[in-house]
């Protein structure tokens, strides 16, 4: 009965993706998601290593 009332009022059970980001994670295959997340993690690690290297160079010069 509740479902009939909801359908009459036009209430949807499933929310549609609202951004490209959410649409990708809603519609992409697990292989596509894994590929994207692997690349994101690699880039994040690369950025973190660069930050650590800059810090180490700065602290080494001040000693």
Q: How many residues does the chain have?
A: 63
* Helix orientation angle between 30-62 and 20-27, rounded to the nearest 10 degrees: 130
Dist CA 48 CA 56 (whole Å): 12
User: What long-range pairs does 14-17 form, CB within 8 A, spacing at least 24?
Assistant: none
CA distances in angstroms from 33 to 13, 20, 36, listed in the order given:
25, 14, 5
Q: pTM of the prediction?
A: 0.59
pLDDT of residue 15: 65
What's the pLDDT score for residue 10? 74
Q: What is the pLDDT of residue 44?
A: 97
Specify the pLDDT at position 9: 76
- The pLDDT tens digits along the chain (63 residues) read 777 777 777 776 666 658 888 888 889 999 999 999 999 999 999 999 999 999 999 988 765
């Amino acid at each position: 009965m509740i479902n009939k009332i909801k359908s009459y009022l036009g209430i949807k059970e499933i929310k549609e993706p609202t951004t490209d980001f959410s649409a990708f994670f809603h519609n992409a295959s697990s292989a596509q998601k894994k590929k994207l997340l692997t690349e994101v993690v690699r880039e994040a690690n690369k950025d973190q290593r660069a930050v650590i290297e800059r810090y180490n160079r700065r602290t080494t010069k001040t000693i």
